[in-house]
Amino acid sequence: MIAWWFFGLLLAFIWLGRLRDCRNIRRVPDITAPEWNREPTSENRQPKVSIIIPARNEAAHVEAALRSVLALEYSNLEVFVVDDRSTDNTGQIIDRIVAAHSGSPPVCVMHITDLPSGWLGKPHAMWLAAQQASGEYFLFTDADVSFRPDCLRRAIAYADEERADHLVLFPTHLLENTGEKLMLGGFQLLFIFGHRPWKVDDPNADDFMGLGPFNLIRRSAYETIGTFRALRLEVIEDMKLGKLVKAHRLSQRNVFGPGLLPWSWGHGALGLSRNLTKNLFALMQFRVPKTLGACALWLFFNLMPLIGAVLAPRWAKLPYIAALVAVALIYFGMGRRTRVPAWSFIFHPVSALLIVFTMLRSMAHAIRHRGIIWRGTRYELEELRKGMV
């Protein structure tokens, strides 16, 4: 009986604490609000933006992504598209679109055929393009992301008003089936255990943010953090860019913008799991004990409330039920900000198991190959460990 009460109260404390913290998500601005539907005002001009799009084997997505960039409602713009050693027809698609382009905004296409040692492909592609870019801001994005025409204009208006050195816009996930919703729901719960988006703008907090679909950074800040050369062996280079920005005491912001940045992260639960294969073991710093411990804790946090609510004796069920209610309310809150519906709480244990499966898969992949194989390139595990920020 004492053990039931102890673990139940512990779980209730943890989940009610997460619920209390998640209420602060309301403090994260939404730039679809009418006040951000304008031009920057601080100097009565549009600052020049260099959009940098690395693409490796993105034949299925790159045309839609590039056409959406070329349709942005922003005049002071240049675009760099980097075909990073693609083995499909990504390069040909890019060349065809650019050849038919009218010339505004200007587009520079770069075809990389070799990857120098000591680099991951994506950081190298973005670093190479940034060396030629002339914008006051750099926007690093992905080749599978589409932009609503007013997306960049709103983001720059907000960054200008807030004098932000680094701005992250949360994408709008396009979820086609139940499996994708369950997988994303589980990942978002994992995310809130490690990150507090509402604290990113606090210079006294260590919280940081960075996302591949939309990392907007001032050129001066990019150079201050050491450019992508400082992240040349980082698997999760997008988040670590945000970490370096915060470590250098620069101004960082993150915002919501429902519909501004539609993004399909993968197809089906297993597709999302595959896309996280290179990330989760890196998130655990490529450490086996840390990964196994995280899996055990995640199972305990997410499955034990249900087990206790069913099996705990009499009144000892109460803290487990309180934990379940807190989880349900977090799902309800997520449903108001993301495409994960509140009803997916019913399948929460499945979401938790999917996350654990993906963590173990990520670890097994790295151990089996003594490194990470991503988009056809293998990166040595020991080299990745040494290159972590």
| One-character DSSP codes across 306-354 | HHHHHHS-GGGHHHHHHHHHHHHHHHHHHHHHSS--GGGGGGHHHHHHH
The SS3 call for residue 82 is strand
282 near 384, Cβ under 8 Å? yes
Looking at the domain 27-174+195-264, which fold is it? Spore Coat Polysaccharide Biosynthesis Protein SpsA; Chain A (3.90.550)
Spans of the chain, pLDDT less than 70: 42-44
* pTM of full prediction above 0.75: yes
Rounded to whole angstroms, how far apart are CA atoms 322 and 8?
A: 9
What is the pLDDT at residue 264? 85
Residue written as token pair 């675009």: 79
Q: Residue 63 to residues 67, 110, 236, 302, 375: CA-CA distances in angstroms?
A: 6, 16, 25, 40, 19
At 281 the pLDDT is 92
What are the residue ranges of helices labelled H in the chain?
A: 2-22, 62-70, 90-99, 121-132, 151-162, 178-194, 219-224, 237-247, 268-275, 277-283, 288-311, 317-337, 348-369, 381-386
Cβ(88)–Cβ(62) under 8 Å? no
Backbone φ and ψ of 73, nearest 5°: -85, 70
Our CA dihedral for 287, 200, 68, 267, rounded to 10 degrees, sits at: 40
Helix (H) or strand (E) holding 121: helix 121-132
Q: Do the strands 49-55 and 166-169 form a parallel or antiparallel pair, or are they unpaired?
A: unpaired
341-385 pLDDT, tens digit each: 889 899 999 999 999 999 999 999 999 999 888 888 889 988 888
H or E stretch covering 217 = strand 215-218
Predicted local confidence at residue 362, as pLDDT: 95
Distance CA 195, CA 205 (A): 11
Cα gap 278→280, rounded to integer Å: 6
Span(s) in the chain for CATH 3.90.550.10: 27-174+195-264
Nearest to 54 by CA among 96, 112, 102: 112
Please, are residues 48 and 40 in contact by the beta-carbon 8 Å criterion? Answer: no
- Give 371's strand partners: 380
Residue corresponding to tokens 């069913």: 310
Q: Residue 25: its pLDDT value, please? A: 86
Phi/psi of residue 388, each to 5°? -70, 140
Amino acid at 302: N
Q: Which two tokens stand for residue 367?
A: 């151990």
Which pLDDT belongs to residue 340? 84
Residue 255: HSE in the Cβ half-sphere, 13 Å Cα cutoff: 29
- Reading the block at residue 173, the tokens are 């996930």
State the DSSP code for 224. H
pLDDT value, residue 44: 66
Distance CA 319, CA 14 (A): 11
State the alpha helices, DSSP H only, in 163-236.
Answer: 178-194, 219-224
> b vs e for 243-265, b when ≥16 Cβ sit within 10 Å of the residue's Cβ?
bbbbeeebbbbbbbbeebbbbbb
Q: Identify whether the C-beta of residue 31 lies closer than 8 Å to the C-beta of residue 172.
A: no
